[in-house]
Structure 1
């Protein structure tokens, strides 16, 4: 190690210092010069130097041997006595570091220096969602997503550029951005989508029929119940750029996408050859395209719901549920499932997401006893939006006293059971009743509903009888669905009600003074009972599960219902 002695001649005071390089090479020192200077004021007898325009630096390199220096070194950092001007006090010592007076006991206060493993998570940041395509193009993440979307549109031959014609409607185009998340709420990818503004379309000119069916939640839960009981494999599929596969029957013009305008034809417009997100008829065009291909492949529509496609040939059975571009596919064997996926992949750009785990905001967790469905992410978002994440837990979700006014395990599907209940004149403002029901297939809860009745009921029996009618409506629909799924029920549907008068009205052709005004259409329950399709039975209130929908329950009863 070498040191250099340097002398700096300044305008006011000569200074001495020692330069200690960070690294010394035998031939060249390439690091910046750093000085530790000791200021020595000029004595009164010393003549001040001549004033110059700038400070000069005179450095005399001197190699110091590597042997230890003598203890009283002339270059020590201790100032000689009487170096300070008279009447000058030494500088005050630095103040001590501030100490926290907060009563909270922290890790640093009790001298804990070992790292806590739970704080060692990997933290990532995501780019904010942009509102302008020009701002998004400056971000590499959004720019890549936009380029991928534009390339997919060009490769799909979604439009052709044509000169703009006079007196034609030109649909606006816009970019939409979204973060796609995994089931654990972690960031999956950046999604940019070019859409057309359907509000700028004109009915009868560039759009006509727009309705497109989607699968109902009750059908999804029914199919999942069958999958669990039969132990079938079930996969989730995603169709990439689904709306781009639809063919348009109308002539539609659209402005060129912002940020990707053709410089050679900046005044041209896009003549749409295929459907695009945002067009009013886009969803219908995609459904018609997919439906026609599925029918050619051997599927057929369910009469209960057009979004349920069924393939049944001998021992092979497949159920396909379509919700826009999301698909749930299950089959009686893994080999058949893979064959259907390959068949769909040959026609559409389909991504196999593996076993069902997250569909339409519902998380599906596969366990040894079946499939556990939950909406943890959705519930957390609601609590966060309402700023209730830190609120205390409540034992029951509804107040047991307050009246509201305007202000399991796998099982077979051998039995269909419903529970119906009504809260007579429960609304303090309109005195209308609230009816609710829940339907089970085996031990699995499929559908439930609770809503205020449209008309006034003169008695609690009438209110409960109307509730039984709604439950029979739902169970009849589910029986027809199971029949189409090749799982017919050979036993009567059991509908439980805790009002004996309503039970008697459903089984006996009784007409008395307080039931003459009930509409004849409500009495179709009697026809179902007479045909042997439905049995209306009495159940004590302590076993009436539908009570949870119509009134607030005490904690003990609520706990019994949720745990049973």
Structure 2
């Protein structure tokens, strides 16, 4: 019994983790209906045929996965049961060849939301009901019959799969290829900047953009009819679920105020969940993620076996991972702090764990902060900063940059540089080069979405890095800087990137590289479009 107790703790939201558990739960009838619905969809789709197992072949297993779907306000919408193949039993070459499938970049999603806000576009959301079940399989795969739905007279037969199923390693790729060829046949262009973004122009001033993240789609454009036409054609080809106006994508909530042309992107529900998962729901909130001049190093990692044992009971990696997801989606304000604590994933000490708890306390105090896009300025500008040799372990410098558009951040990075810089100039110069690559990509993305921008301004607070980028004169002190970092020079010369001096006090990338005081931190945060809602 003891094992079961621990096991039941693992599922959140009261979702059963096995078929047995579902059948014994108080919602057994809802779960049964959900499984029935799934099996019917699979049969309708002709997903498998029952056949005797050929000699020398091993069937792979499957399991039921149960999920309670909730809407934006956290209310129960429906019960969902999925039959999932145990794809981890597949061996490459026998069961599959290629499995890579692209998903839309989060930066692209944010840029498109900024466009919607600024130009007051329609924004709709769709999802494909049985994404992975449409695909014809190239490989020969046998599977056991689904638990609870074995056919009585045919107990000894197995399912030979005709169509791809959830859990198969090649499933996402099969689906992407099929969707891609269909949408291209409707005259949409796949963007070079992002292979999961599609664009079609209708005459002078109308267009439709579609973003694909596995089975979630965002569709936007100025003309409702063109969007409806696309939805109708998709519905004829795939089983679609139309959500109407978008209010949620990848766990991020989208709030709109069309009269003021503003869009807010937040993860309030997700952050509340992680606060309670790590027992921090009642902690005292604080105003910055890390104290000013905060430094940690690997010397704080456990030295004794005792300490190691104590730390092994701490959910360090999952806490950092949960924070990282928030940081990547909507929270540039914790990027620097999460970057610091993630370096000690392999062997965290007490101090490192305290730092993680501190970030959670900061999150508690800023649950209502959301990324806001809106405003008439639809130009990208970038801010770069670096913290010279800020890492105590290897003396590496930290790169930080933020790109904003329509008043909100769309792209940000805070990470250790791969080379050890020998001067602040070099550290800033390396940062500027990394940022200029992102600038060029953003410029290309916007151009493909119909917004040509001549150059991207990069604001930098290091006078010497600026001179170096603008002035190709050879200097004995810079001869060791690797050739690859002179990329920024070419871009400045050809006019793609315009580097400009900015005072440190006005540089919003400051909080991407080090722990700073509350006033400056709050200013940087709001300059990135992170506002209290």
Q: Same fold by TM (over 0.5)?
A: yes
**Corresponding residue of 2:136:** 247
Give, in angstroms, the shift of residue 521 of structure 1. 1.3
Q: Structure 1 residues 148 and 497 mapped into 2: Cα distance closer, same or farther (>3 Å)?
A: same
Cα distance, 1:411 vs structure 2? 3.1
Deviation at 1:437, TM superposition (A): 0.1
Does structure 2 retain, via aligned residues, the 8 Å contact 1:226–1:413?
A: no
Selected match of 2:19 from 124, 133, 145: 133
SS at match of 1:511: coil
For 1:549 and 1:159, the matched residues in 2 are separated by 52
Which residue of the other structure, out of 533, 542, 548, is the alignment partner of 2:511?
A: 548
What is the deviation of 1:174?
A: 1.1
1:91-131 CA distances to partner (integer Å, 9 max, x unpaired)? xxxxxxxxxxxxxxxxxxxxxxxxxxxxxxxxxxx993223
Task: Select the structure that is richer in helix.
Answer: 2
Aligned to 2:397: 433
- Of 277, 283, 288 in structure 2, the residue corresponding to residue 385 of structure 1 is 277
Match of 1:432, SS state, is coil
Q: Does 2:472 match 1:509? A: yes
> Cα deviations across residues 107-156 of structure 1 (Å, max 9, x unaligned)?
xxxxxxxxxxxxxxxxxxx9932233244235111111111111111111
Counterpart in the other structure of 2:70: 181
Looking at structure 1, the residues matched to 70 and 496 of structure 2 have their Cα atoms a distance apart, in angstroms, of 46
Residue 170 of structure 2 corresponds to residue 207 of structure 1: no
Question: Aligned ranges for residues 487-526 of structure 1 at < 5 Å?
Answer: 487-490=451-454, 492-526=455-489
Partner SS, residue 374 of structure 2: coil
Q: Distance in 1 between matches of 2:21 and 2:266?
A: 37
Question: Residues of 2 paired with 1:416 and 1:366: CA distance?
Answer: 22
- Encode CA deviations 1:510-535: one digit per residue, 9 max, x unaligned: 33232111111110111111111111
Q: Distance in 1 between matches of 2:190 and 2:496?
A: 25
Identify if the C-alpha distance between structure 1 residues 385 and 137 changes in structure 2 by more than 3 Å, giving closer, same or farther.
closer
| 1:348 CA drift (Å) | 0.9
Q: CA deviation at 1:393?
A: 1.6
The yes-or-no answer on 1:222 pairing with 2:128 is: no
Greater displacement, 181-190 / 544-553: 181-190
Q: Determine if contact 1:246/1:288 at 8 Å carries over to the other structure.
A: no
**Which structure has the higher relative contact order (CA within 8 Å, separation 6+)?**
2
Q: Matched residues in 2 for 1:474 and 1:294: separation?
A: 28
In 2, distance between residues paired with 1:377 and 1:495? 34
Superposed CA offset, 1:52-76 (max 9, x none): xxxxxxxxxxxxxxxxxxxxxxxxx
- Counterparts of 1:296-315 in structure 2, within 5 Å, are 296-315=185-204
Q: In the alignment, which residue of structure 2 is the partner of 1:559?
A: 522
SS for the counterpart of 1:207 is coil
Q: Give, in whole Å, the separation in 1 of the partners of 2:421 and 2:524.
A: 28
Report 1:471-486 matches (<5 A). 471-486=435-450
2:428 maps to 1:464: yes
2:212 maps to 322
Name the TM-score, length of structure 2 as normaliser. Answer: 0.80
- What's the offset of the Cα at 1:343? 0.9
- Distance in 1 separating the partners of 2:291 and 2:138: 55
Distance in 2 between residues matched to 1:442 and 1:193, nearest whole Å: 40
Identify the residue that residue 529 of structure 1 maps to in structure 2. 492
Q: Which consecutive residues of structure 1, in runs of 5 or more, have no partner in the other structure?
A: 1-125
In structure 2, C-alpha distance between the alignment counterparts of 1:500 and 1:177, rounded to whole Å: 57
1:355 equivalenced with 2:355 (yes/no)? no
The structure-2 alpha-carbon separation of the partners of 1:137 and 1:414, relative to structure 1 and needing over 3 Å to count, comes to closer
What is the deviation of 1:385? 1.7
Partner of 2:315: none
Alpha-carbon distance between aligned partners in 1 of 2:242 and 2:420, rounded to the nearest angstrom: 52
Alignment of 1:248-327 (within 5 A): 248-315=137-204, 316-327=206-217
Cα distance in structure 2, aligned partners of 1:191 and 1:340: 27
Matched, 1:539 2:502: yes
Q: Any conservation in 2 of the 1:169–1:201 contact (CA below 8 Å)?
A: no
The 2-side partners of 1:128 and 1:437 are apart by 41
CA distance in 1, matches of 2:41, 2:373: 44
Q: Distance in 1 between matches of 2:176 and 2:378?
A: 34
Q: Alignment partner of 1:171: what SS?
A: coil
Select 1:405's aligned residue among 292, 297, 312: 297
1:76 corresponds to which residue? Answer: none
Shift of 1:229: 1.4
Shift of residue 173 of structure 1?
A: 1.3
Q: Please show how residues 152-171 of structure 1 align to structure 2 within 5 Å.
A: 152-171=41-60
Between the aligned partners of 1:276 and 1:537, the Cα distance in structure 2 is 53
Query: Is contact 1:183-1:363 (8 Å) kept?
Result: yes
Which deviates the most, 157-166 or 392-401? 392-401
CA contact (8 A) 2:510 2:524 kept: no
Structure 1 residue 366 displacement after superposition: 0.8
Map 1:334-345 to 2 at 5 A.
334-345=224-235
Distance 1:413 1:531 in 2: 24
How far apart are the structure 1 equivalents of 2:13 and 2:384?
50
Measure the CA separation in 2 of the matches of 1:222 and 1:468: 21
CA contact (8 A) 2:61 2:143 kept: yes
- What is the RMSD of the two structures over their aligned residues, measured on CA atoms? 1.6
Which whole-Å CA distance do the structure 2 matches of 1:220 and 1:455 have between them? Answer: 31
CA distance in 2, matches of 1:222, 1:562: 18
The answer to whether the 8 A contact 1:418-1:496 is kept is: yes
CA distance in 1 between counterparts of 2:13 and 2:395 reads: 53
